[in-house]
Chains A and B, each alone.
Chain A
């Protein structure tokens, strides 16, 4: 009877011990797999895996090197490692019983089976311990799998939502980032890691982080261009040059100015910017220049306008761009004005240098009235000195206009995506020569058609979302400000959401350069 009791209770007691030993075994394996000897998926390994899954296409960048979100990769690796380690440890525990009872390596198997309570107890301990450890593993598997599924679904939904919000914000705020070095425009630029300076090509929410991303070097920074633009340095994806602070996060309006040689494009650029910045300054709106080159160009241009000197002919090699930041911080707007020598608009071989035309939201076509044959004919015999001073553009106004429009439409830029301001320059000289120009947009269009430029008028109406006509003078602006060079630029900017103060009540003073209210350009 006592022997039967021992045969029954010894294995039962061993099974209870095995029950707790199973927990212990699993916890030991868990500690080993997650802390003592973990398998860490490095950013490079994850990048290689992503490239294998989906190789980067032409013009695409490979995935960035950053730590992936735990649920997308590391959780699965940890789960696998726990299973492998548990199986290995459990096999190791079975080694002695297997060698002893099955293979007979520790004496005759017969004698082991004679002392049945011992054998049964060991077997009960091992079996219950193993069952318990594996049960724990499957609980762990269920927890990790459900976490991966639920978190993955939530992360996927959040990712889509954040990307949609960001894309919508980008469209409504015109927050694409533009490079003033190569004129490349991108919805989201690359950003340099604040610690290791490695560029991250795509900081949108995704597998590398929803709200924040951790670079390979360990630096943590926000995702989404609207937030990263203020914490990181944006760089152009094409040429790698640094972009203005807030690139990709703030409104970015690009306005190319085109026209024939000597039409007055450069003068219009500085005079219009001068006017807009002066009214902003009077209203207490701060402004600055995001790069040294823009600052120097603007200073030089404003000085010329102030002193009434002629502007030098624009270099025929590289187009000039002047960038300006209106306002400060997150509510600021970046404005880029482009000026290329008139030769670029006549020569199809120079199309590459006019890339800035394709991504512009608005354009200004500067038309020299003295280049129109009918105008010259009407002025014949009037003030010859003034006509000489006008340095009339030699080419037909339709050529430069036609070249630009052809380039835009051939390049796939939709007709309804851009606004056009047609600016009749040198209004002051025309007035001095004895010819008065009408003031309203429709009247100017009518006047243009009347002097033989009906092709431009007809085409502009068809080719652009909205067209307005202006007359401008860089020196002697009429008392009613109808020739203020800032008016066309102000219309184009406000049409794209730039908040500008209402025109100052006082008459414009083209002879005064605007006053900087913002700090020094960075």
Chain B
């Protein structure tokens, strides 16, 4: 049975929100995103 377009859209939006949140955290150590501000000045920040 073919998935209705609205279900695909909802899933895509949900996944996009999650990926965005994950990237905001995951890129923190590289100095990108809101987490970078929290990590700024600490030794374990990777300078790229």
Q: Which residue in chain A gives the minimum CB-CB distance to B29?
A: A16
**Proximity bits, B6-32, A CB within 8 Å = 1, else 0:** 110011001101110110001001000
Contact of A143 among B1, B4, B17, B29 (CB under 8 A): B17
**Inter-chain contact A40/B15, CB cutoff 8 Å:** no
With both chains docked as a complex, state the minimum distance between the C-beta of A467 and any C-beta of chain B, in angstroms: 54
Q: Which residues of B contact A70 (CB under 8 A)?
A: 6-7, 10-11
Known contacts A67-B7, A70-B10, A74-B7; A40 and B18 CB within 8 A of each other: no
**Inter-chain contact A27/B19, CB cutoff 8 Å:** yes
Q: Which residues of B contact A27 (CB under 8 A)?
A: 19, 22
Q: Which of B6, B7, B21 has the most CB of A within 10 A?
A: B7
Q: Which residue in chain A gives the minimum CB-CB distance to B13?
A: A147
A356 part of interface (Cβ distance < 8 Å): no
Which size bracket describes the interface of A in this complex?
Answer: 20 to 34
CB-CB contacts below 8 Å: A141-177 with B: 143-144, 147
> Given the complex of chains A and B, what is the CA–CA distance between A34 and B18 in angstroms?
13
Count of chain A to chain B residue pairs whose CB atoms are closer than 8 Å in the complex: 52
**Inter-chain contact A71/B10, CB cutoff 8 Å:** yes
B3 part of interface (Cβ distance < 8 Å): yes
**Inter-chain contact A136/B11, CB cutoff 8 Å:** no
Q: Which residue in chain A gives the minimum CB-CB distance to B11?
A: A34
Residues of A contacting B: mostly: helix
Interface residues of B (CB under 8 A from A): 1-4, 6-7, 10-11, 14-15, 17-19, 21-22, 26, 29
A26-B22, A30-B18 known; 15 new pairs, CB 8 Å cut-off, are A27-B22, A34-B11, A34-B15, A38-B3, A67-B4, A70-B6, A70-B10, A70-B11, A74-B7, A78-B11, A136-B18, A136-B22, A140-B14, A143-B17, A143-B21
Q: Which residues of A contact B22 (CB under 8 A)?
A: 23, 26-27, 136, 139
Q: Which of A19, A70, A136, A143 has the most CB of B within 10 A?
A: A70
**Inter-chain contact A42/B18, CB cutoff 8 Å:** no
> Given the complex of chains A and B, what is the CA–CA distance between A78 and B10 in angstroms?
11
A selection of 29 A-B contacts at a CB cut-off of 8 Å is: A16-B29, A30-B15, A34-B11, A34-B14, A34-B15, A35-B11, A40-B1, A40-B3, A40-B7, A42-B1, A67-B6, A67-B7, A70-B11, A74-B7, A75-B10, A75-B14, A78-B11, A136-B18, A139-B18, A139-B22, A140-B14, A140-B18, A143-B14, A143-B17, A143-B21, A147-B14, A214-B4, A214-B6, A218-B2
Q: Which residue in chain B gives the minimum CB-CB distance to A147?
A: B14
Q: Which residues of B contact A218 (CB under 8 A)?
A: 2, 4
Known contacts A147-B14, A218-B2; A139 and B7 CB within 8 A of each other: no
Q: Which residue in chain B gives the minimum CB-CB distance to A70?
A: B10
Q: Which residues of B contact A20 (CB under 8 A)?
A: 26
With both chains docked as a complex, state the minimum distance between the C-beta of A82 and any C-beta of chain B, in angstroms: 10
With both chains docked as a complex, state the minimum distance between the C-beta of B1 and any C-beta of chain A, in angstroms: 6
Known contacts A34-B15, A40-B3; A139 and B10 CB within 8 A of each other: no
> Given the complex of chains A and B, what is the CA–CA distance between A454 and B30 in angstroms?
98
CB-CB contacts below 8 Å: A10-57 with B: 16, 19-20, 23, 26-27, 30, 34-35, 38, 40, 42
**Proximity bits, A70-113, B CB within 8 Å = 1, else 0:** 11001100100000000000000000000000000000000000
Q: Which residues of B contact A19 (CB under 8 A)?
A: 26
With both chains docked as a complex, state the minimum distance between the C-beta of A156 and any C-beta of chain B, in angstroms: 17
> Given the complex of chains A and B, what is the CA–CA distance between A464 and B30 in angstroms?
82
Contact of A23 among B2, B4, B26, B29 (CB under 8 A): B26
